[in-house]
DNA sequence: CGGCTTCTTGATCAAGGTCAACCTTTGTGG
DNA sequence: CCACAAAGGTTGACCTTGATCAAGAAGCCG
């Protein structure tokens, strides 16, 4: 496709997108350093890749996916024109999701400036970005109710380990033990299982001597085992959360 | 709990959170208008609620959930100290997720200023916010691979309808028809099903005269029927996405 | 016209849901 | 301090949903 200057961007005219002021537009135009055409079925970002560009999908379809420990593919989102690609690894450092084209695509390549420049220059812009992110998150939330892949005991182990790590990061867990107020019903609604099957799964984790819940407390007996069993491992991000 | 001034906030000292500069801290202190203590099992935000406050969870556990059409509960996230509560409906206007306490909790009430003030005043702050959001989204992504609730044909109908609406918003669909490059395999990986079962589910949708896929095209035959069958309805947000 | 990949359909099997009974813990009033 | 009720947890029996395996049909190139 011929080079499309941002001023003539077909997408930008749609009501669905934030209308930019002139200086904002100038800023974005400056950001755009090129354009790439890729065929269908082409890998745009490999899962696990650290460094990579920041793109806007100008035309065509793509999808974002992750690979499970067992090598299965879980598609996480369908990307349509207007989607930003590569923001996750740019901001979070690493990304375990990859992106692949479904049709021939045209990408706008954004570069030269860092995101910090962007934040500093346009407060309102970042506002819109937060909004876009929240919207995506909500869609992800909605889809949460739809997906499955691992067996019940694995899901449970995964969740318990993830939660335990969050608590540990907050100083709310010590040496394989933490307070645990969730009941079977909560775990069931969380993992999309029945409460009776949560019982069975907990028994399985106990039997394997991985973890157990008792007296409002969670005990991680074998962290390595849990990790291996569930495929969960600590994400290493250099992030600092915002505390309002 | 006694009133905790932001300067003495126990959470704020943790490495996990962004360290504020003095003026930033002053801004946040100004934002905090009060503090609430609530018992366990208390509804903090009702699902579907439009107006509501913005809170920070200071101590205790809570969870965020949505209700499916059939009245089932899907817990979407466990909220721990430091989590922001109510940002979704503040920014997106409506929120279909509710929040309920698991233990007695203490909430910091943020008010007086709008988010726009916040964006305008602190560019870097919003940067951190974007980061936090992306982090959450990623967690949601990771959990995506874990959940399930509806039957296969329902999931499929839900997804097709959601996608169709996104395309329509982009002007890429017309009158019940759109181009559709995804194959069975993609749908399977997206919905956590086997490709053979996608075939069966498609047949079911065809049999019910709801939708069909043929010749790289998706036809929504009975939109109302699809909506009723899958429980999907257009989210009405006043949002404008950011197009970089 | 083969030789691909993709789609469809059938048969079989396992994971997990549902229902029901029973056990354990916690809480409450006498 | 006990008795009883109510809520939560465990276990078993049975059945539904969807995975897996396999064979055939349809497209889609070269």
Question: What does the pLDDT look like over B86-101, one tens digit per residue?
Answer: 877 777 766 778 888 8
SS3 at position A48: coil
Name residues whose C-beta falls within 8 Å of residue B213's C-beta, 6 or more positions apart in sequence: B180, B202, B219
The number of angstroms, rounded, from the C-alpha of B145 to the middle of its chain's C-alpha atoms is 16
pLDDT in tens, B127-141: 666 666 766 666 675
Q: Round and report the angstrom distance from CA (A45) to C1' (D8).
A: 47
**A196 CB neighbours strand D below 7 A:** yes
Instruction: Nearest by CB to B138, from A82, A88, A240: name it.
Output: A88
Chain A environment of B149 (Cβ under 8 Å): 145-146, 192
Most confident of A56-70, A128-142, B212-226: B212-226
pLDDT tens, A174-217?
889 998 888 888 888 888 888 899 999 999 999 999 999 987 78
Residues in a beta bridge with B78? B63
Are B141 and A66 within 8 A, CB to CB? yes
10 Å CB burial of residue B3 (0-12, 13-18, 19+) is: exposed
Helix, strand, coil shares, percent, chain B, to 5: 40, 25, 35
Protein CA at B234 to nucleotide C1' at C19, angstroms: 37
Mean of the per-residue pLDDT values of chain B: 80
The pLDDT of residue A222 is above 80:
yes
Query: Residue A121 class from Cβ within 10 Å (0-12 exposed, 13-18 middle, 19+ buried)?
Result: middle
Q: What is the pTM of this model?
A: 0.78
- Residue pLDDT, tens place only, B194-213: 889 999 999 999 999 999 99
Shortest distance between the Cα of B132 and any Cα of chain A, in A, equals 5
Structure token pair of residue B156: 């499929």
> DSSP 3-state assignment of B150?
coil
Cα-based torsion angle of the residue sequence B15, B16, B22, B24 in order, rounded to the nearest 10 degrees: 170
- Name residue, tokens 């181009």: B179
Domains for chain B: give ranges and CATH numbers. Answer: 6-139 (2.60.120.10), 150-230 (1.10.10.10)
**pLDDT tens-place string over residues A52-81:** 788 889 988 888 887 766 667 777 787 888
Answer whether B87 touches A (CB < 8 Å): yes
CA distances from B213 to A102, B170, B173, B216 (A): 16, 20, 14, 7
CA–CA gap between residue B7 and residue B29 (Å, rounded):
8
């Amino acid at each position: 496709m011929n080079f499309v200057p941002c001023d003539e961007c077909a997408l930008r005219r749609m009501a669905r997108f934030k209308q930019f002021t002139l200086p904002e537009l100038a800023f974005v135009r400056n950001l755009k350093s090129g354009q790439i055409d890729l065929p269908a079925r082409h890998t745009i970002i490999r899962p696990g890749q650290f460094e990579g560009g920041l793109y806007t999908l100008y035309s065509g379809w793509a999808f974002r996916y992750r690979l499970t420990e067992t090598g299965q593919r879980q598609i996480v989102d369908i990307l349509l024109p207007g989607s930003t690609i590569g923001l996750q690894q740019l901001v979070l450092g690493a990304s375990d999701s990859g992106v692949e084209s479904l049709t021939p695509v045209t990408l706008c390549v954004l570069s030269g400036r860092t995101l910090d420049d962007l934040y500093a220059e346009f407060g309102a812009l970042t506002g819109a970005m937060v909004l876009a992110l929240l919207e995506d998150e909500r869609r992800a939330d909605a889809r949460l109710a739809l997906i499955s892949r691992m067996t019940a005991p694995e899901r449970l182990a995964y969740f318990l380990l993830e939660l335990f790590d969050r608590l540990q990061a907050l100083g709310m867990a010590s040496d394989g033990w933490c307070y645990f107020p969730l009941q079977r019903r909560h775990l069931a609604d969380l993992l999309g299982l029945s409460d009776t099957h949560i019982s069975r799964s907990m028994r399985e984790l106990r039997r394997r001597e991985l973890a157990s819940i008792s007296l409002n407390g969670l005990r991680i007996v074998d962290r390595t085992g849990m990790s291996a069993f569930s495929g969960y491992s600590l994400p290493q991000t250099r992030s600092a959360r915002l505390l309002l």
